[in-house]
Amino acid sequence: MPYLKNYDVLIIGSGGAGLSLALKLADNTSSVAVLSKFALTSSSTYYAQGGISAVFDADDSIESHIEDTLDAGAGLCDPEIVRITVAQGKSSIEWLRDQGVIFTEEQSRSGESQLHLNREGGHSHRRVVHSADATGKAVSLSLIERAKEHSKIELLENHSVVELITIPSDGGVSKQVVGAYVLDSTANKVKTIAARIVVLATGGANMAYIYSTNPHSSTGDGIALAWRAGCRVSNMEFMQFHPTCLYHPEARTFLISEALRGEGGRLILPDGSSFMQNFDSRGELAPRDIVARAIDHEMKKRGIECVYLDISHKSKRFIREHFPTIYQQCLEYDIDITEQPIPVVPAAHYTCGGVLTDSYARTDIKNLYAVGEVACTGLHGANRMASNSLLECLVFADRASEDILQKLPDIHSYFEIKDWDESKVSDSDEEVVVSHNWNELRHFMWDYVGIVRTDKRLSRAMNRVQLLKKEITEYYGNFRVTSDLLELRNLVIVAELIVRCAQQRKESRGLHYTLDYPEIDSSKSPQNTVLTP
């Protein structure tokens, strides 16, 4: 086995969840590997602007944070998971500060320094801890630096997982994971990696849509890997569309943070009139699904390409100090946000569903865990509340580490694994198929499975998914794997899961809105959508 490597724990993904988990495990294990599909900074965490929700304000409370989260989740949050997560908010922030993350502070009335707290949509108090408007970058760079310093952590960039390796467990009744086949894109070789524990921390699947705020790596890899291995998947119909992505031909994925609205930014039409008060009494501070649908409605009703977000009534100093990243980025596109409104459109932003896990991030497969956006923990329900996502990464990385460290001493060292066999495939001579299918998939998902859905649109999407899936499967069976091909193969599976879940939900709830069933079905208790392979 020329490419076999062995680790105690293999973590797939280098975002906040994966790196936090690696750091929490490293002192008590012999070896931890963290795989990154591209550069270590290619994760969604790195690009997160807003912050991390946690209760620090004396006027705020754990109960209030819980209540806000449950309200945003539209009846599908797991109350116990919400309580566990929210209760660890403060300790999670303190742990990040211990790792070197510097958060924005302000002077209290008594003259002492304290954390500056933003308020975002759905929150009844200021409770979003942040590092200016580039919180994710601050978190990501600090965790990467700490991981690089640790002798027990190996960071492997440009490594994509082809498939999880499982064996029968419990007399053949179930499965356990024992490693993964991994494409080293630099060497253009598939490696065989054995691991006693495997953790999926691959992020979401928002590149299933043509407009997304996510980096190009968010192709649902972990969800597809887990599904093919035999894990249940839940609530994939709840794809969150961020209301405000910069509308510019050269900046399709640049997010305009919700914190702008939290600090008084107004959504306006081209004529300067506001409209959010027509949709929700909370106006610009309504939950994201409401704001995104309101913008989508106005754009379609008026035939306009975008709406505008205006913060220019605030002082120039305030804007530059609170939103330096957004200010500089917009300037590059000749938009001075201190003097003019920002053109914005909704874009796919967060995957609320994912691989079904328990309160310790365990999946249906023995020794396989899922943390972060790839997982469906029960925290978000039908709609994620702003800035609860990085908190979830930290809390469940901590809980997974606790469970893993208890298990490791009793897990068989390693199992014999066969090498990856590519003796019957060749290099592709028609890679245009990959790029064409990628574009087709993302376009029809946007058109038919976007912010507003219908049964007919979902049916059309499913027909196209099935055709593409067949074509991609045939292509995959004939040619050597590439990073692009692996992403496309995963993305078409995720698209199918999104459509299947959406077709099962005969109501509008949270992020799933359908014109055929525009109301919540109050005739029965709220139900999570669960798919079994």
**83 belongs to a structural domain:** no
**342 belongs to a structural domain:** yes
**pLDDT score at 3:** 56
**103 belongs to a structural domain:** no
Host domain of residue 262 = 242-348
315, 348, 381 — which closes off a domain? 348
Three-state secondary structure call for residue 276: helix
Q: Are residues 268 and 328 in the same domain?
A: yes
The catalytic residue among 119, 127, 288, 362 is 288
For tokens 């992505």, what's the residue?
Answer: 245
Q: Are residues 139 and 192 in the same domain?
A: yes
Integer CA distances (angstroms), 279 to 57, 283, 293, 298, 312, in order: 30, 7, 9, 11, 23
Q: Are residues 404 and 459 in the same domain?
A: no
288, 315, 348 — which closes off a domain? 348
Q: Which residues pair with 266 in a beta bridge?
A: 310
Tell me if 302 sits within 8 A of 269, measured CB to CB: yes
**199 belongs to a structural domain:** yes
User: Where does residue 171 rank: exposed (0-12), middle (13-18), buried (19+ CB within 10 A)?
Assistant: exposed
**pLDDT score at 1:** 44
Question: Which residues, in sequence order, are CB contacts of 97 under 8 Å at separation 6+?
Answer: 103
Q: How many CB atoms lie within 10 A of CB 95?
A: 17
Three-state secondary structure call for residue 438: helix
**426 belongs to a structural domain:** no
**392 belongs to a structural domain:** yes
Q: Are residues 192 and 336 in the same domain?
A: no
Supply the CATH number for residue 505's domain.
Answer: 1.20.58.100
**410 belongs to a structural domain:** yes
**490 belongs to a structural domain:** yes
388, 420, 452 — which closes off a domain? 420
Three-state secondary structure call for residue 182: strand
Give dist(CA 372, CA 358) in Å, integer: 13
pLDDT tens for the chain, 533 residues long, are 445 789 999 999 999 999 999 999 999 999 999 999 999 999 999 999 889 999 999 999 999 999 999 999 999 999 999 999 999 999 999 999 999 999 999 988 888 899 999 988 889 999 999 999 899 999 999 999 999 999 999 999 999 999 999 999 888 788 999 999 999 999 999 999 999 999 999 999 999 998 899 999 999 999 999 999 999 999 999 999 999 999 998 886 788 988 899 899 999 999 999 999 999 999 998 888 889 999 988 988 899 999 999 999 999 999 999 999 999 999 999 999 999 999 999 999 999 999 999 999 999 999 999 999 999 999 999 999 989 999 999 999 999 999 999 999 999 777 788 888 887 777 876 778 888 999 999 999 998 999 999 999 999 999 999 999 999 999 898 889 999 999 999 999 999 999 999 999 999 999 999 999 999 999 999 999 999 99
Sign of CA dihedral 296, 301, 306, 311: negative
Supply the CATH number for residue 28's domain.
Answer: 3.50.50.60
**pLDDT score at 2:** 45
Q: Are residues 200 and 344 in the same domain?
A: no
Three-state secondary structure call for residue 28: coil
Q: Are residues 361 and 226 in the same domain?
A: yes
Q: Are residues 24 and 165 in the same domain?
A: yes
Give dist(CA 500, CA 309) in Å, integer: 35
Examine the residue annotation and report whether 288 is marked as an active-site residue of this protein.
Answer: yes
Nearest CA to 490 out of 293, 227, 238 is that of 227
Integer CA distances (angstroms), 208 to 381, 389, 488, 532, in order: 20, 19, 10, 21
Supply the CATH number for residue 246's domain.
Answer: 3.90.700.10
Q: Are residues 142 and 266 in the same domain?
A: no
Q: Are residues 170 and 36 in the same domain?
A: yes
**pLDDT score at 164:** 98
Which amino acid does the sequence have at 380?
H
Q: Which 3-state string (H, E, C) describes 83-98?
A: HHHHHCHHHHHHHHHH
Q: Are residues 259 and 305 in the same domain?
A: yes
Q: Are residues 144 and 35 in the same domain?
A: yes
Tally of structural domains, the chain: 3
Q: Are residues 448 and 304 in the same domain?
A: no
Sign of CA dihedral 99, 141, 390, 23: negative
